[in-house]
Amino acid sequence: MADHDTIAVEVTRYRPEQESVPAPQCYRVPLRKEWTILDGLNHIKDRLDGTLSYRWSCRMGICGSCGMTVNGEPKLACSTFLTDYAPGSIRVEPMRNFPVIRDLVVDISDFMAKLPKVKPWLIRADEDEQEDGEYLQTPEEKEAYQRYSMCINCMLCYSACPVYALEPTFLGPAVIALGQRYNLDSRDQGAEDRRDVLASAEGAWACTLVGECSVACPKGVDPAGAIQRYKLTAATKSLKEFLLPRGAR
Amino acid sequence: MTAFHSVVIVGGGGAGLRAAISIAESDPNRSVAIVSKVYPMRSHTVSAEGGAAAVIAPDDSLDEHAYDTVSGSDWLCDQDAVEAFIDEAPKELLRLEHWGCPWSRQPDGHIAVRAFGGMKRKRTWFAADKTGFHLLHTLFQKALSYPDIVRYDEWFATTLLVDDGRVRGVVAIELSTGRIETIVADAVIVCTGGCGRVFPFTTNATIKTGDGMALAYRAGAGLKDMEFVQYHPTGLPFTGILITEAVRAEGGWLINKDGYRYLQDYDLGTPTPGPVLRSMELGPRDRLSQAFVHEQEKGRTIDTPDGPIVHLDLRHLGADVIDAKLPFVRELCASYQNIDPVHELVPVRPVVHYMMGGIHTDLHGATDLTGLYSAGEVACVSINGANRLGSNSLPELLVFGARAGEAATAYAAAAHTAGPTAAIEAQGRDEQRRLERELARHDGAGGPRPDRIADIRTGMQEAMESGAGIYRDQRTLRTAIDRIRELKQRYAAAVIDDHSRTFNTELIATLELSGMLDVAECIVDSALRREESRGAHQRTDFPDRDDDRYLAHSLIHRQPDGEARVSYLPVTITRWPPGQRVYGR
């Protein structure tokens, strides 16, 4: 295959039984216009080197498995195309800010443990019987939280977040946005239940408003916006509590 | 090591999560665990787009949904199962609504419904065109509210443990560490989804390798109606990515190379500008995919490097409708086809999408193996018969996920046995040794170049497409089965590069492939024996439906000697005697 028909893909390898530190390994893969970074990795795995490990599943940008760092930027491998980087080379590394298990596979157990903390389910004072039908919600009311419900948990926002890089206790963009998704749902009455966590030092207030999360998000969720909105709500609420007697809050 | 849970669920997609929640709700003291090879929110339910059918509109009725489903199935479904399904589907979708699912709404705040193929009323609930994504995340997040649901995330179940005719758990391998564990249970529910990856061109995610079908089959459970493989008429030509039927429900047209709405030539109705229920583009998937093949034979499709295609035309819908109802379709077309459906035609071709067949269960998810339950695409109750209607699969996984959870809980309570038996412990050790051997596959001998796992997988996929595709006959099926058997022999000698215990995806791919070869053989074997054409199973050598011989479910079992045996079960008919499927008139 002529060089102009291929592209060099430099992949960070790390096999804990074999290497003490991660090191790059270079492969050449066909440069086809339909091929994503993921297709390139699959070519390596199937034809060149079966030992390369990475996660993937849906290959259509909805399951959130294949977050990686591509030429320094957090990307979904299945939604990023080889030709975008031609004729140069492509450097594929694991997502940043996570411990690496192997090659491009990172440990997301910290995120998984944080997820339930914001109580990401509908909370009601008294649950209506289903026989009474659906909780009504107008399209406008749905619109209020819709954007924050689109998160695919790919964690590119954590990979991009400078606060999470320094403070691993930070809840992080996707988890706070998910808390807000339920807070802003007209059917939900659980904002108070989520307040201790969202308004804690590890919650929204830890965010320094860099906004890299919203840039990295492949689904337009805008976690930075969600965090800012939460800070505003929380601040207004605290001010009211400070100024007003209990009954008027 | 050995762990114990009252109920172990294999698979954490829609059906598995629904079953887990049902168990956690009914009996908080019962230990329930989900063993899933991916984190649950990665499961393939996430890719479902168009919607979930359930009667809620005032002009709709349970009987009409039942009739559409029965006729759509070409009368091969079990009507008692369909009636239970239709009745419980609205309750399940309302439950999801109460758990927070962001269903699309009418202006007054009530649930909105859209049209779907083969349905004569608008009854498909939707969350724009990411219904599966929202449904899965709602279920997963709701499941997080039950801290007692134990999760084995990124664990791959390799075998079912069976003692004295009763399933007693699984052996599973933890991907991150390579640890192999025996997980003992009073009952096991298999909810692993479909097996689209047995074919080369599929909408299915790479994880859809039929694992649960192979687990059950090898343990002695029967697989039902495996010859019925659904081709969805509209996949993107290179990737196979699904373009939802909702496109046609919202008014999209299918046109051939002459810009002609060709479905009118296949007894599917006459074209009108707007969509008409149970007509033309809103016909059932089997008929639409078959019409494509005939267009191709007439030279009226368009040849491309990715195979013959026709076009989906949405341009007349306009940007507002597309952005409000089909935003994901626009996103997918832009990313993967480099086109904007607001202004351009979308190239599509039929693509393997769904398994009507699967693990044989009764109305409560019980299989023919004591202690083993199943729900979702991996199972076959059957409400889908010879052809599933679009938007019936999401409510199916909820209704039967919940039912399987309840039935398994009741069984586990009655059949509880303390600790594993000696036989189970021995099986666990045997399986551990087998997995160690798989991990050690080497090309030590230096003979001719051995096969890679990908070579065998590709060979299997090509054999299935050319032998057991939309149209089959005895010759193509015989060729396919010979090739699958030859590939099984080559599989035994294939090598893997990766001998690490840490996140060894090549080992998992090897184990998946072994299961897929069994599943592929079951599909072809069952297809060979059904000498008629019905729904998605079209035999050119037996072009007619034959109710005298085949108004029956095929059931394939693995014999102790490893050979497959096919038998037949009668179809249950309650209120709708077999008739002709009529669309568009």
pLDDT, tens digit, 9 for 90 and up, residues A132-187: 799 999 999 999 999 999 999 999 999 999 999 999 999 999 999 999 999 999 99
DSSP 8-state assignment for residue B542: B
Name the residue among A15, A121, A187 with its Cβ closest to that of B141: A121
Chain B CB contacts of A64 under 8 Å are 41-42
- Return the residue of A nearest to B209 by Cα: A57
Q: Do B91 and A130 touch (CB under 8 A)?
A: yes
Is any Cβ of chain A less than 8 angstroms from the Cβ of B142? yes
The pLDDT, as a whole number, for residue A249 is: 46
Supply the DSSP string of B268-299, one letter for each residue.
Answer: S----SS--TTSGGGS-HHHHHHHHHHHHHTT
Whether the Cβ atoms of residue B211 and residue B278 lie closer than 8 Å to each other: no
Alpha carbon distances (Å) from B239 to A52, B202, B242: 22, 8, 9
A170 interfacial to chain B (CB closer than 8 Å)? no
Q: Is B91 on the interface with A (CB under 8 A)?
A: yes
Identify the H or E element spanning A8: strand A6-13
Share of chain B above pLDDT 90, in %: 95
The answer to whether residue A241 neighbours chain B at the CB level (below 8 Å) is no
Chain B neighbors of A34, CB-CB under 8 A: 238-239, 336
Q: Do A121 and B100 touch (CB under 8 A)?
A: yes
Cβ distance A185 to A122 under 8 Å?
yes
Residue B445, pLDDT above cutoff 60: no
Among all residues of B, which ones are annotated catalytic?
Answer: 232, 248
Distance separating alpha carbons of residues B515 and B119, to the nearest angstrom: 35
Tell me, what's the pLDDT at A246?
Answer: 58
Rounded alpha-carbon distances, angstroms, from residue A185 to A123, A143, B10, B138, B367: 10, 9, 32, 13, 40
pTM exceeding the 0.95 threshold for the entire prediction: yes
User: How many angstroms separate the first and last alpha carbons of chain A?
Assistant: 72
How does strand B155-163 pair with strand B346-355?
unpaired
B457 half-sphere exposure, CB direction, 13 A CA radius: 23
Name residues 140-159 of chain A within 8 A of B (Cβ). 141-142, 145-146, 149-150, 152-153
Q: What is the DSSP string of B79-129?
A: HHHHHHHHHHHHHHHHHHHHTT----B-TTSSBPEE--TT-SS--EE-STT
Strands in B508-550 per DSSP E: 538-539
Average pLDDT over residues B127-145: 97
Closest CA to A205 of A177, A181, A180, A234: A234
Mean of pLDDT over chain B: 96
Tell me which of B494 and B1 has the higher pLDDT.
B494
Residue A233 or A44, more confident: A44
Q: Is there a contact between B552 and B223 (Cβ–Cβ < 8 Å)?
A: no
Q: Which of B143-152, B446-455, B568-577 has the lowest mean pLDDT?
A: B446-455
Enumerate residues 194 to 213 of chain B having a beta carbon within 8 A of any beta carbon in chain A.
205-207
Phi and psi (nearest 5°) for A205? -70, -20
A220 close contact with B: CB closer than 8 A: no
Distance from CA of A238 to the nearest CA of B (A): 28
Test mutation, A37, A49, A57, A151, chain B, max B CBs within 10 A: A57
Residues 314-373 in B contacting A (C-alpha not used; CB under 8 Å): 328, 331-332, 335-336
Residues in chain B: 585
CB atoms within 10 A of CB B574: 13
B584 pLDDT more than 80: yes
Q: Could B332 and A60 be called an inter-chain contact, meaning their C-beta atoms sit closer than 8 Å?
A: yes
Residue B304 has pLDDT above 60, yes or no: yes
Q: Give the residue from B380, B388, B536, B406 showing the smallest Cα distance to B53.
A: B388
Could you please report the per-residue DSSP string of A160-190? H-HHHHH-TTS--HHHHHHHHHHHT-TT---
The pLDDT tens digits of the residues spanning B339-388 come to: 999 999 999 999 999 999 999 999 999 999 999 999 999 999 999 999 99
Tell me the torsion sign for CA atoms B221, B227, B230, B231.
positive
* A15 interface with B at CB cutoff 8 Å: yes
